[in-house]
Structure 1
Amino acid sequence: MASVELFSIGNALVDQEFLVDDQFLQNAQLVKGTMQLCDAEQQAQLVKNLSQATHKGQASGGSAANTTVAFSALGGTSFYACRVGNDALANFYLHDLQQVKVQTHQKSLSEGQTGTCIVMVTPDGERTMYTYLGITAELSPEQIDYEPLKQAKWLYIEGYLATSPTAHQAVAEARQLAKAHGVKIAISLSDPAMVQYAKSGLDQLIDDGVDVLFCNEQEALMYTKALSIEQASEALLNIAQTVVITLGSKGALIGAKNRSIQMVVGEAVEALDSNGAGDAFAGGFLYALTQDKTVEQAAKIGNIVAAKVVSQYGPRLSYQQYQDIAGQLES
């Protein structure tokens, strides 16, 4: 297996995306803008209730996978550690990764049902997710080939793993190996629901600190209980060398040890769907760092990729769209 720059661990999920209004979310008792876990029957019932909603299609998803795809399609080399079932959805999912040259391993396949996520997008572009994890809920060290990590530049961890004790074990092993081989570590808090209901799990994933921590404004304030994003950034620097707080169309706030906080202005676009925006930002940001860009330049690139993602439906761009962005960056 070829060496990689980015080694990611996350939940493998196939997204089904629908257009809904706020009333539908209220009727379904879903908190807008968050992710909620469910079982297979609960998800099936929601799908029935969505029979009259506009279905925007099926897409490979999962937070870390979206980040890894962006990183790879921009020109980086990557490996994605996950767990999928031995079913048609897994074939669809892994094929999508292979199309953008993301490396995987046969260990990722096991008996069980591949996880699925119902993504509901309201007219303001906000996404709300209802997730049945399936077999990815049992992601453990046994499903992961750690060899590519030994020569990687970055280990990337998604915060959604905070709810899985076995995933904690997988991440702990990855962190230990990363430190032994001088690999930098990045993590995303992923969702306000993870901060609210699984903060202790996030703390375990973060352990004694990371090199880069990604979050949005709501997650930063909730995690630190700070009164402003500036205060939140300062607090998060106790557990991260660099803190990146995304602010949607406004851009991103960058905090780094021994440096003043920097605001990197975002791209002006019409937002249709926020699904995958933060993931795309992280992918662009990490790719830029591997190209020896400054954190401010990396945030600018992250903003460009995220803006393109929110301007269309679905969590990812086409491979050609990523390549077009990469071409613009080179010029």
Structure 2
Amino acid sequence: MTDAALDVIGVGNAIVDVLAKADDAFLKTHDIPKGGMLLIDEDQAKTVYEDMAAGVEVSGGSAANSIACIASLGGKGGFVGKVSADALGDIFRHDLRALGVEFETKPLEGDGPGTGRCLVNVTPDAQRSMMTFLGSAGLVSADDIDESQIARAAITFFEGYLFEQPEARKAFVRACAIAKREGKRSALTLSDAGCVERQFDELKQFIPEHIDILLANDDEAKALFGSDDIAVIADKARKMCELTAVTMSEKGSVLIPRDGDIVEVAAVKPPQLEDTTGAGDAYAAGLLYGLARGYELETAGALGSIAASEVISHVGARPEQPLKALAEKAGLL
């Protein structure tokens, strides 16, 4: 570990994506819902994994994808997440560290579950059918929070998916307390409308107490604030935290500061739309990087749009082109 400052440190699910080509017969054999996502146990994961065609294995997970994008922007990122001491855990750690990301969380050892994985079978019609085994990813605890690491980060960023795990939530609270003590900011992405609905009361209490920057798409915002009217959302959001960002796909996004007018941010049309997986993760990266560097809201939001546009222009949730170069070309950096 170094003593260098971090722009953003993410706390989230450490998941390895295993992608392979498949046909409809394979999906039927393993009862995989076409185009959907199914949570499975470790035995199922091992069985399907062994039967899958040769493919690629790359580290994923929402917050980790955001941190990868921050590295692509030229920023310094860190990550806190739980993998196991196994081959997939080694892949996850290698992929993040190869990007220059600081990842020091100790792996889970012993008889516990293996590293979390998402088995993605891609059929000839480009449908992605997913089966996810969370494994050790959900076992982040308060003991995994390094006080000095959080203190070095301008923003600590939490993944809503992980908020559902009670022990991980304790880690969130500890990290937020450290960030607040050091005069730094904490951010949360809501991740999924279903998460919001399941954790509604807990989120309504947690966000005002601990979160400075809230990120949501329009569905998640509607679930949390009970409306799709931006004026109603803004009124409720301002009472909840310092800044709220709501993304609306091709309609762009809005940034709602507690004090000040709503900032509208245009979407950036991709050269081609291939795969929307990871769009929200990339937007979060651009926005948070901009805020960590002290840019105006308009610029930070535009960085989010640039990052999201690149990620949806190809298959996969991480950038293939350097985001820093794209942002420089657009005059944002």
TM-score by length of 1: 0.86
**Do the aligned partners of residues 204 and 63 (structure 1) sit closer, same or farther apart at CA in structure 2, a change above 3 Å counting?**
farther
Aligned 1:140-289 pairs, distance under 5 A: 140-203=141-204, 205-206=206-207, 208-269=209-270, 270-289=272-291
2:70 corresponding residue in structure 1: 71
C-alpha spacing 1:290/1:106, structure 2 compared with 1 (3 Å): closer
**Residue 8 of structure 1 pairs with residue 7 of structure 2:** no
Is 1:89 the equivalent of 2:88? yes
The DSSP-based 3-state class of the residue aligned with 1:271 is: coil
| Cα deviations by residue, 1:226-275 (Å, 9 ceiling, x for unpaired) | 14244223322222211111111221111112323232110112321111
SS in structure 1 at match of 2:318: coil
Note the residue ranges of structure 1 that are not aligned, 5 or more in a row: none
- AA aligned opposite 1:72: A
For residues 217 and 246 of structure 1, the distance between their equivalents in structure 2, rounded to whole angstroms, comes to 6
Return the alpha-carbon distance in structure 2 between the equivalents of residues 152 and 12 of structure 1.
Answer: 20
Task: Compare 249-258 and 112-121 and name the one that shifted more.
Answer: 112-121
Distance 1:45 1:154, change over 3 A: same
CA separation of 1:119 and 1:280: change in aligned 2, threshold 3 A: farther
Query: Quick one: distance in 2 between partners of 1:18 and 1:80?
Result: 27
Secondary structure class of the residue paired with 1:190: coil
Secondary structure at the aligned position of 2:66 is classed as helix
Structure 1 residue 127: deviation in Å?
6.9
Q: Is residue 2:102 matched to residue 1:103?
A: yes
Return the alpha-carbon distance in structure 2 between the equivalents of residues 7 and 227 of structure 1: 31
Aligned match of 2:116:
115
Change (3 A) 1:125 1:220: farther
3-state secondary structure, aligned to 2:294: coil
Q: Choose the corresponding residue for 1:307, options 305, 309, 314.
A: 309
Q: Give the deviation of 1:289 after TM superposition.
A: 1.6
Identity of aligned residues (%): 31
Counterpart CA distance in 2 for 1:277 and 1:31 is 18
User: Are the structure 2 counterparts of residues 321 and 121 from structure 1 closer, same or farther at C-alpha, using a change threshold of 3 Å?
Assistant: farther
CA contact (8 A) 1:138 1:166 kept: yes
Q: What code does the residue aligned with 2:238 have?
A: L
Unpaired stretches in structure 2, ≥5 consecutive residues: none
Instruction: Judge conservation of contact 2:299–2:332 (CA < 8 Å) in 1.
Output: no
After superposing on structure 2, the runs of 4+ consecutive aligned residues of structure 1 that deviate more than 3 Å are: 17-22, 27-32, 35-38, 41-48, 108-112, 118-130, 200-205
Task: Tell me the CA shift for residue 130 of structure 1.
Answer: 3.8
Q: 1:105 to 1:209 in 2, by over 3 A?
A: closer
Alpha-carbon shift at residue 283 of structure 1 (Å): 0.6
CA distance in 1, matches of 2:120, 2:208: 30
Is this contact kept in 2: 1:36–1:193, CA < 8 A?
Answer: no
Counterpart AA for 2:142:
P
User: Structure 2-normalised TM-score?
Assistant: 0.85
Secondary structure of the 2:242 match is: strand
After superposition, the Cα gap between the structure-2 partners of 1:225 and 1:308, relative to the gap in structure 1 and judged at 3 Å, is same
- Which of 39, 42, 58 is the equivalent residue of 1:40? 42
Q: Distance in 2 between matches of 1:245 and 1:268?
A: 18
Q: What is the one-letter code of the residue matched to 2:68?
A: V
Identify the residue that residue 134 of structure 2 maps to in structure 1: 133
Name the CA distance, whole Å, in 2 between partners of 1:20 and 1:230.
Answer: 46
Are the counterparts in 1 of residues 218 and 228 from structure 2 also a CA contact under 8 Å? no
CA distance in 1, matches of 2:174, 2:48: 37
**Deviation for aligned residue 1:163:** 1.7
